[in-house]
């Protein structure tokens, strides 16, 4: 087994041109979405919201309600289907202080 010097490997990586992506297939590219406010009315009855991009993989979705991480999956806090988030319980609307729904995920462009 060859011995790899991590310093040399980092130096080679640092000198590789950023536009040299010909050997990477399009499905390997992804974007990170941070702190996206999920769209949809927060009115104490709406339980359906949407994000701008399809989370890929779906398990990359981290959804926060008022700063608390929600659990994804049937019977849990929410489910995800494509762009659509369906909450188990509708976020509450309080005058001047509605619930906040924030999404963090990876997506393919």
Q: What is the pLDDT of residue 1?
A: 43
DSSP 44-107: SS--EEE-SS-BSSGGG-EEEETTEEPPBSTTSSEEEETTEEEESSPPP--TT----EEEEEEE
CA-to-CA dists, residue 25 to 21, 31, 32, 53, 78, angstroms: 8, 15, 18, 20, 32
Judge whether residue 66 has pLDDT over 70: yes
Judge whether residue 81 has pLDDT over 50: yes
Q: What is the pLDDT of residue 95?
A: 84
Q: Within 10 A of 45 (CB to CB), how many other CB atoms are there?
A: 10
pTM: 0.72
Per-residue pLDDT band for 2 (boundaries 50, 70, 90) equals very low
pLDDT tens, residue by residue, 90-100: 999 988 888 99
Q: What is the pLDDT of residue 94?
A: 86
């Amino acid at each position: 087994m060859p011995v790899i010097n991590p310093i040399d490997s980092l130096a080679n990586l640092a000198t590789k041109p950023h536009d040299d992506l010909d050997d990477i297939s399009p499905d390997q590219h992804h974007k990170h979405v941070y702190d996206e406010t999920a769209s949809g009315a927060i009115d104490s009855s709406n339980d359906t919201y949407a994000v701008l991009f399809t989370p890929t993989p779906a398990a990359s979705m981290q959804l926060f309600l008022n700063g608390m991480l929600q659990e994804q999956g049937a019977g849990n806090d929410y489910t995800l289907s494509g762009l659509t988030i369906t909450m188990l319980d509708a976020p509450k609307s309080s005058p001047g202080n509605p619930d906040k729904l924030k999404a963090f995920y990876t997506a393919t462009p």
